[in-house]
A and B are shown apart, each in its own frame.
Chain A
Amino acid sequence: MHIGVARRVVLPVAGSLITYLLLLVGGVAYTAIGNSSSDGLVTQMLINAIVVLGIQIYIGNTGVLSFGHMGFGAIAGYAFAVCAISPDRKAVQIPDAPFGLTEVDLTPLQSSLIASLIAVVVAVVIGLGLARSGARSGAVAATVITLALLFVVHEVAKNWIDLTRGGKTGLSFSPLGKVTLQGRGWIYLALLLALLAARLFKETRFGRLAQAAREDDLAARSMGIHPALQQMIALLLSVFVVSIGATLRVFELGSINPRLFFFKYTLLTLTMLIVGGRNSVAGSLVGVVVISAGSEITRYLAGPSVDLPALDWILRNGLTDVFLGGSMLGFMIFRPAGLLGDWELDHWLAGRLAKTPVSQLPAGHPVDGHRSEGELHVTGVVVDFGGFRALEGASLTAATDEVVGLIGPNGAGKTTLLNVITGLVPAGGGSVLLDGDALDGRPSYLVARAGIVRTFQNLRLFPALSVEENIAVARLAVAGHLADRPQPEVELLLRVSGLGELRHRRAGELDYGNARRLELARAAAAAPRFLLLDEPTSGMGDRESAEMVHRIRELAELVRAGVVVVDHDLNFITGICDRVYVLDQGKVIAVGTPDEISEDPVVQAAYLGGPVNRSN
């Protein structure tokens, strides 16, 4: 566990502190050597950094593209202004504010915290909506909901004159619009906290499970992860941090109007995040620095002090926005992961400090505990797709001490049956019982926690996560939901699957055979009572699939799980199964030992169309 604490707490904190100091030293140095405007620029950059870190917590961990964070920013910004502006100033600007808000007189710190909490409360509602809409990485409905928030808040800010003084003038702290924030102390503190929050969140259970769902929503749910919960927590933390940044921005400017947190600022902050690398906390900060510098340079070039008639056509007003839009587009096309991808300073440090030689890997211990006897009972399952009846009363039983095969021609309904058992497809009839408990109707993450874990025909790993993390996340997803089922250690699974040397590789970089092995190890990590394998040897040659027989048996033995395996390859099925079900046109047409099945005339007619001795 010590290694875990070092890797997930100590090093990230150390890395964050180093990054923080670098940023501060850079900022202070630039303020010192720069001209009169550089002080304000650095202050703005630090505030933008807080906001971008806040956005990173949500977009980075969940992959859901939110355009609504500036909507939250506007809510917090206005709430802050309404609370913090002195009553005499409010009497001039918004004498008719509702709820007696004109009289409210709070300190900036109180106002900032209250404003951020208000934004978080709104975020709870939006988060519930996002969850209902099935938010996942790249989901359009989620993006539109967040856009809706941005627009609705903007319209309300423009039209609720009593509270916001409308769109033309906005609210200001002092008559002359003087800067109100003295010194950068609060900004420094908020930035440090934002940085730690963003970096540590990535290592929390919520963050890691959210990242798995970001990589593959369906696989995550089938591993026992409830993405909506992780996304909600990410959203609330993210909105809190963004809101603190927004209140600082308002305080620093000394005023707020509806345009302050609208498309322009959304574009700026999102470009920073994307250019730096949205999955990396260090990357977000790099993005902030690079884009701030770039914006300044383009602003300077387009300004009056540069006079290059030859380049006049490009050095114009608006160059900064072209730079922002162009950066966003360019990075999406040529480097969608951003400058740093998912690099973090502490990962790099860890790599430097501790190069664990592969030979010194701990040996790992086999899982202790008795074999828990259990049975999976699938009875009379019916599934209709429109007019097509995919399953027509299919039944199957499996015990935890056997390997059951499911074969049948294409379209027989094999995968559909697995989908019904794992809660991905609702059944129109029939039942699925695990030790007598009904599973049908349960969402897939609960089915996984109950002990039924599957793999996918088309291989669904968490590609951007390391091999090790793929397995670790699967353990984490079901931890605490296992009753007394023992979980195999990550080390053990790595060793048994022969993936020890590849542990730090990204799963997406593995070759096909290793990827299949990883998917199997990941499923075993969830301590299943039943492993459901969908064509584990598809695309494999004879030798590989023979090796797969061995590996599946070994892993099933290790976690003491029963196996239900779907496959086309008869050699493989006969090599591994104790019993075989034959499915045809949604119905089970035969059950028996592999030998019985291969001699059954009904099966030969329906499925094999001839003698069994098929050679590849």
Chain B
Amino acid sequence: MTELLQQVVDGLGRGGIYALIALGIAVIFGVMHLVNFAHGELITVSAYAAYGLFAAGWDWWLVAPAVVVIAGVTSVVIEFVAFRWVRGAPDFTMLMTSFGVHFLVQAGFVMYVSANFRQFPRPGWIFETWKVGGVSLEVYDLLVILFTLLTLGATYWVLQNTMFGTSLRAAAEDFDAARLMGIRSDRIIRGAFALSGLLAGVAAVFWLMRSGQAGPTAGLSPMLKGVLAALIGGLGSLTGAVLGGVVLGLAEVLLISHLPAGLVGLTDGIVFLLIALLFVFRPQGLITVRRAERV
């Protein structure tokens, strides 16, 4: 029982980050039907930003909010440079464009910084643990859960109570209809990228606290997890994405603790395999949002 509780806490810690990333991916999918495989580049950029800021002598208290803002701005810039041009293009083109951005940013960092990973200090205190009735609570996990909830709460408030939020939900519900209703796609899409970037920024802070390094491929793993979580949630569904992230986090923790020692190195591969199987048997995702193709 304690063991299970422990795993749930660990899983929520992981899952919270995935949920934030997945939510960003779902938001963008909602407004332009793009599955953004370049979403992880926001985390890569954040990682290098953090590295640079630490080198300049900043502290985590300042680096964290700076990283969030930088991720938000980067997201808007990427939209302006790349995705703006493929709005309304066939799915294949958009998918490939996002991979193009992914590869290009990665290659850019290899060229201008280095192919090697750069280390920066991790805040030691967040890895302290409190023992509560046999469950050891890591400050880190609690922080992630707390901030995930706060961020999701703020996002929810924005989505429910602002004009932007309403338009965005309408667009996610029915992209074409929303456009017909006169929703300014330009502004909504840019706003969606900003929101998605900020969410990625919050996720990046926690991801980087644990990894403590910046490298050209730093965003690959979080991106894959985020895309998988969004797909588990049935793409486009914002609630689904958040649940998908939590499910993925829990699944990973359970796998790691139950796999035989020799296979732990394969955790990511096995998660991937399970998710591939999920799509084979439930292509619409675990959490189904009915969206019949109009004919």
- Most A CB contacts (10 A, CB to CB) among B265, B273, B283 go to B283
Answer whether residue B22 sits at the interface, using C-beta atoms and an 8 A cutoff: no
Tell me the complex Cα distance, A612–B112, Å: 73
Contact pick for B97, options A133, A329, A386, CB 8 Å: A329
A interface, over-half SS: helix
Answer whether residue A99 sits at the interface, using C-beta atoms and an 8 A cutoff: no
Known A-B contacts A140-B235, A144-B231, A458-B295; A156 and B269 likewise in contact (beta carbons under 8 Å): yes
Give the Cβ gap from A266 to chain B, nearest Cβ, in Å: 9
B interface, over-half SS: helix
Answer whether residue A610 sits at the interface, using C-beta atoms and an 8 A cutoff: no
Tell me the complex Cα distance, A317–B111, Å: 6
Tell me the complex Cα distance, A424–B108, Å: 46
Tell me the complex Cα distance, A325–B294, Å: 35
**Contact of A325 with B227 in the complex, beta carbons under 8 Å:** no
**A: number of interface residues (CB 8 Å):** 56
**Contact of A321 with B276 in the complex, beta carbons under 8 Å:** no
Contact pick for B115, options A318, A456, A460, CB 8 Å: A318
Give the Cβ gap from B286 to chain A, nearest Cβ, in Å: 12
Digitize A124-164: 1 where CB-to-B-CB distance is under 8 Å, 0 elsewhere. 00001100111001111101110111011011101100000
Tell me the complex Cα distance, A328–B97, Å: 7
Answer whether residue B89 sits at the interface, using C-beta atoms and an 8 A cutoff: yes
- Most B CB contacts (10 A, CB to CB) among A321, A332, A534 go to A332
**Contact of B89 with A336 in the complex, beta carbons under 8 Å:** yes
**B: number of interface residues (CB 8 Å):** 50
Give the Cβ gap from B64 to chain A, nearest Cβ, in Å: 30
Hey, which chain B residues are within 8 Å of A154, CB to CB?
269
Answer whether residue A591 sits at the interface, using C-beta atoms and an 8 A cutoff: no
Answer whether residue B279 sits at the interface, using C-beta atoms and an 8 A cutoff: yes
Hey, which chain B residues are within 8 Å of A138, CB to CB?
90-95
Contact pick for B111, options A139, A147, A316, CB 8 Å: A316
Hey, which chain B residues are within 8 Å of A425, CB to CB?
292
Hey, which chain A residues are within 8 Å of B92, CB to CB?
63, 65, 137-138, 336
25 contacts between A and B (CB under 8 A): A65-B95, A65-B96, A133-B283, A134-B283, A138-B94, A139-B91, A140-B235, A144-B228, A144-B276, A152-B269, A152-B272, A155-B269, A316-B112, A317-B110, A322-B108, A325-B108, A326-B104, A332-B86, A334-B85, A336-B89, A336-B96, A386-B290, A425-B292, A460-B295, A534-B295
Given contacts A143-B35, A325-B107, 10 further A-B contacts (CB under 8 A): A141-B279, A144-B231, A145-B276, A218-B293, A317-B111, A321-B111, A325-B105, A326-B104, A328-B99, A328-B104
* Top 6 closest pairs, chain A to chain B, by CB: A138-B91, A329-B100, A325-B104, A318-B111, A321-B107, A325-B103
Which of B's residues lie within 8 Å of A, judged by CB? Answer: 35, 82, 85-86, 89-97, 99-108, 110-112, 115, 224, 227-228, 231, 235, 265-266, 268-269, 272-273, 275-277, 279-281, 283, 290, 292-295
